[in-house]
Amino acid sequence: MDPQKLFVDERLIGLCVYCGREPSTRDHVPSKILLDDPLPINLSVVPACQQCNIGFSLDEQYLACLLECVISGSTDPNSVRRDKVRRILRDNQALALRIATSRHTDESGEVAWVPELDRVKRVLLKLARGHAAYEYSEHPPEEPEHISFGPLIAMSDEQLKFFESPPEDVFQGWPELGSRAFLRAVIVGHEPLTADGIWEVVQKGRYRYSVSCSGQLAVRMVLSEYLACAVEW
């Protein structure tokens, strides 16, 4: 057997990893709008149907812009740091206005942004499905048992410690022979995810994720070192 052949991927060839329909395209995971140019070499791709490939685009655009506006504290294109977001805000004034109206200031002067939670959840769940498919060739059920997300800075020290590194007594499991996680752990000769411990860093400061599959499939993601998400099936 050629250990470089990812034979488990064959189980997903006929499935869109997001909906289970017949795939006709390939989708990047994570979405390119969440990353800066130049893009990482060999960005992960998964099989997807055309409807899913384009059906998340507006929500992904919204999330990318919202994150950058929250981090920058403004919807003014000249104030944001990411070039992609700056261009979108200039070209799509309706989106910029929609995000601007989500910015609220209370009586004490504290500023808070109120996201459209359904749109954010939709994108994060899509990303989690993509990572699960790419790393473990898993096509999880339609709805996860648990999904949570929020700013890293809003976590307590205990919550942050648990999110960043699971308890030592949790058995992480051995990846299935032929999966990408297996190649990382055995063939390449290092830990299942990367030199950054449990995290696969797609683009430093912009996107990282972790996938484990030991009894329960779990995906964690951090976007722009601000938004943290955990999805479990």
Convert the pLDDT of each residue in 130-178 to its tens digit. 999 999 888 886 799 999 999 999 999 999 999 998 544 444 555 555 5
**What contacts 24+ positions apart, CB below 8 Å, involve 117-125?**
119/59, 119/62, 119/63, 120/59, 120/63, 120/66, 120/149, 121/147, 121/149, 122/56, 122/59, 123/31, 123/56, 123/59, 123/60, 123/63, 124/149, 124/221, 124/229, 124/231, 125/231
pLDDT at 20 over 60: yes
Tokens 């384009």, residue? 54
Instruction: Please state, for a pLDDT cut of 90, what percent of the chain lies above it.
Output: 70
Instruction: Please state, for a pLDDT cut of 70, what percent of the chain lies above it.
Output: 80
**What contacts 24+ positions apart, CB below 8 Å, involve 12-15?**
12/46, 12/47, 12/133, 12/137, 12/139, 13/47, 15/47, 15/139
Are the C-beta atoms of residues 209 and 115 closer than 8 Å to each other? Answer: no
Confidence of residue 14 (pLDDT cuts 50, 70, 90): confident
User: CA–CA separation, 96 vs 209, rounded Å?
Assistant: 28
* Mean pLDDT, residues 2-18 taken together: 62
**pTM for the complete prediction?**
0.85
Convert the pLDDT of each residue in 67-97 to its tens digit. 999 999 999 999 999 999 999 999 999 999 9
Residues 6+ apart with CB under 8 A from 166: 172, 198, 212
Convert the pLDDT of each residue in 186-205 to its tens digit. 444 444 434 344 899 999 99
* Mean pLDDT, residues 8-28 taken together: 82
